[in-house]
Structure 1
Amino acid sequence: MTIVLGIAVAVLILIIIQQFRRRGRGERAAKRRRLFYAQAPAPASAGTGNSEAITDLWLKLERSLPDSYAEAVRSRTLLENPDISEQEYAWRWHELKRYFILCALLDRVPMFSSRLDEVWHQMLMFTREYEQFSRHFYGRMLHHAPHAGSQPMPKERAWFDAVYVQSFGWNKYSADLWGRFFTEPLPKEELEMYANRSADLQQTSRWNMYGYRNQPEIREAVNWLLKRLRSHVHTARRGNKDDLIPVNYSHPEALLFSAVWFSMNEPLGFEEQMVHPEVEKARAHSSGSGCSSASGCGSSDNRDHDSSSSHHHTSGGHDSGGSSCSSSSCSSSSCSSGCGGGGE
């Protein structure tokens, strides 16, 4: 009996020690996040993208989210999560809206960030307002798919990264929330489909065809993305390394070209070719902060981007009449099942 009691006491002590350690790690992580975001500029109120089509879609999103609803979500989130600073919350809200943009473009978009999922969950508490937002912006209900931790979804993550960075670019604050970008190559068999301009979009099962048919803003944004993607696929199919120049993470168009080129020509070395020094720096900041896979990305606004270049490769002279390469951010999230605006 004495031995059993001693074991029970020892187990209880171990549990208490583990709880204190977890609490200490959580407090240290919260302190690091506060210091990190204390230096962050406020996300631009008009979170424009890298094209007029993405900007129009963003403005429609803003019109679909009444100020009263946004403020109610902010107040509830901060009340239930006192460790979140106002600056960090502003970036969480900004990136969650970017996520909603991607849900309008793609058929399925896993929720790759546990910290953004916390805010999305708070939105769902206001049932009527959330339904009104969904139907106004998407034309139907956007269902919640919870963050699923480290569940591997390489193809979905690869497409998330590619569409996000082309639409918004990259910076370290968004990177902290979404996790590391460009760890997985895009599926070559899917990319090959875009070499044919007459390819049926529905055959790819990748794009939000409901929104494409029913929402002009979604249709224009998807068409813009497809134009850029096709241009990069045509160049990458040559497999000519003379097309490559150093990757620049402040250059969304060039960054997307790199992702396409290495996905098609050197998929086994994809992550090594696409890594960026700022990614590792952001990863160090975000350790223990609730992201699943390291650093991610952010804003297309000149005033809040963190521009620097890596030592890897991308294309310079491949532009066929799309966007010019502006400064920006980029992103990637933690993992869940699907959310997307698409599907039938």
Structure 2
Amino acid sequence: MPIYYIAAVLLVIAVFLVRRKLRIFRPAGRRRRQTKVTYRRKKAPLNLGLREEVSYTQTILQLEKSYNKHFANKLKTRMQQEHPYMKQAEYRWKLIELKRYFIMASLLKQVPMFSDEVDDLWHEMLMFTKSYADFCAEFMGSTVHHEPAITRRETPGARAWFDWVYCQLFEFTPYSAAIWGDFFAYPLSSDVQKLIAQGDRPELVNELFHARRMQENPEASQVINYLIDQLQRSATLSEEELSSASSGSSDVALIMASAMVYYSMHHEATYGLHMGRLEQEILPQEKAGYGSSSGSGCSSGSSCYADHCTDSSSSSGGSGSSSGSSSDSSCSSSSCSSCGGGGD
């Protein structure tokens, strides 16, 4: 038998095994969709889409003021030079998510970066070393450090914590899941579960949140206390209360975030099955009129997530104005072998 024929057969077998392994290790209930995202000129959310019940407006205003002073023009110009393929609308939505990341970094002890798209912008900001230092100092009084991070597959608990905090702070945009990848695919880590179960508030703050900023900034203290309250409330839900909440609310992200905490702590071994079933129960409600928009699986008013946030149309495009966007990614995240920053 010719050697090239044997080599071809071995190659086919190898490709089959790799593809099979990827399917096995894909989180339960999550299907990757390769549909390209089209970034359109939609109205940017007010205050970065901060939820009405979260009182962190002054910090967001300070972030915007600091950003406009040091970066508004130069970062956009550099991105146009270094990434000429990127449309203005794409840049606009990606920048919104980078600003949301900085808001999370002002509240949390550590925030891994789970989006290569957002990380591209962050890298370009860091090229302006003095401007970046001045921006961080004016925004939150300390530097949001950029350090290497490992992939989200190796830090599923960190990704789960990111998902939960993100959903408590912000409403989803039509492009949130396309930029960050699937939400709620992983349960909270055993360490976080233990902290919640112990109910020791100072320990929760020290281990998970930006303790120094909480002491120095009353607004940050109020938001951190709010997040801890929400975390503990979700952990003490009963199955009946969770079911009742899912049938009486149109905010899919908050329902799934509560369920993520509950199933992490009470049914971790079957977490994927429970979350997948709940997802299927909720999504038909959303599609039946809970905020979905034409051309996209979710709108800025809905709380869409995971695989369901893809525009059905084709290439990346459109033009837009000033702040935030995302790149041509599908709803599934990239390898995310990027970086992370933290508070303390």
Fold in common (TM above 0.5): yes
Give the CA deviation at 1:164: 0.2
Instruction: Confirm whether residue 221 of structure 1 aligns to residue 209 of structure 2.
Output: no
Q: Indicate conservation of the 8 Å contact 1:291/1:333, yes or no.
A: no
> Are the counterparts in 1 of residues 70 and 132 from structure 2 also a CA contact under 8 Å?
no
Q: Is this contact kept in 2: 1:185–1:270, CA < 8 A?
A: yes
Q: Could you tell which deviates more after superposition, 156-165 or 74-83?
A: 74-83
Q: Which residue of 2 aligns with 1:81?
A: 83
Q: Tell me, what secondary structure is at the counterpart of 2:125?
A: helix
Consecutive unaligned residues of structure 1, counting only runs of 5 or more, are 1-30, 296-331
Structure 1 residues 335 and 104: CA distance shift in structure 2, 3 A: farther
Identity fraction in percent: 30
Question: Secondary structure, in 3 states, of the residue corresponding to 1:211?
Answer: helix
- In the TM superposition, residue 177 of structure 1 has moved relative to its aligned partner by 0.6
Aligned match of 1:244: 243
- Matches of 1:252 and 1:280, distance apart in 2: 13
Query: Counterpart in 2 of 1:200?
Result: 202
Check conservation: 2:108, 2:210, Cα contact below 8 A.
Answer: yes
CA 1:198 to 1:153, structure 2 compared with 1: closer, same or farther past 3 Å?
closer
2:116, 2:338 within 8 Å by CA — same for their partners in 1? no
Q: Residue type matched to 1:280 in 2? A: D
CA distance in 1, matches of 2:230, 2:241: 20
User: Residue in 2 aligned with 1:178?
Assistant: 180
SS in 1 for 2:55: helix
Q: How many residues are aligned here? A: 270
> What is the Cα-based RMSD across aligned positions, in Å?
3.2
Range with bigger deviation, 98-107 or 254-263: 254-263
Higher normalized contact order (CA 8 Å, seq sep 6+, divided by chain length): 2
Encode CA deviations 1:105-131: one digit per residue, 9 max, x unaligned: 111111111111111111111111110
Amino acid aligned to 2:138: H
> Relative to 1, partners in 2 of residues 1:160 and 1:287: Cα closer, same or farther, differing over 3 Å?
farther
Task: Report the Cα offset of residue 268 of structure 1.
Answer: 2.8
Q: Write the mapping of 1:285-324 to structure 2, written as runs, cut at 5 A.
A: 294=332
Give the TM-score normalised by structure 1.
0.68
- Measure how far apart 1:186 and its partner are: 1.0
From the superposition, tell whether residues 77 and 103 of structure 1 become closer, same or farther in structure 2 (CA, over 3 Å): same
User: 1:94-243 maps to which residues of 2 (within 5 A)?
Assistant: 94-146=96-148, 148=150, 152-195=154-197, 198-201=200-203, 205-235=207-237, 239-241=238-240, 243=242
The 1:79–1:128 alpha-carbon spacing in structure 2 relative to 1, beyond 3 Å, is same
- Equivalent AA in structure 1 for residue 161 of structure 2: W
Distance 1:56 1:233 in 2: 30
* Shift in Å, 1:290: 7.0
Deviation string, structure 1 residues 37-85 (Cα, Å, up to 9, x no partner): 13x5132253241234233332222222225522211111122111111
Residue identity opposite 1:244 in structure 2: S
Contact 1:176-1:283 at 8 Å conserved across structures = yes
| 1:55 equivalent in structure 2 | 57
Q: Does 1:265 align with 2:266?
A: yes
1:147 Cα deviation (Å)?
6.3
Q: 1:250 deviation in Å?
A: 3.1
Preserved contact between residue 148 and residue 339 of structure 2 (Cα < 8 Å): yes
2:309 aligns with one of 270, 279, 282: 282
| Contact 1:291-1:334 at 8 Å conserved across structures | no
1:181, 1:281 → 2: CA distance? Answer: 10
Letter aligned with residue 250 of structure 1: D
One-letter identity of the residue aligned with 1:200: P
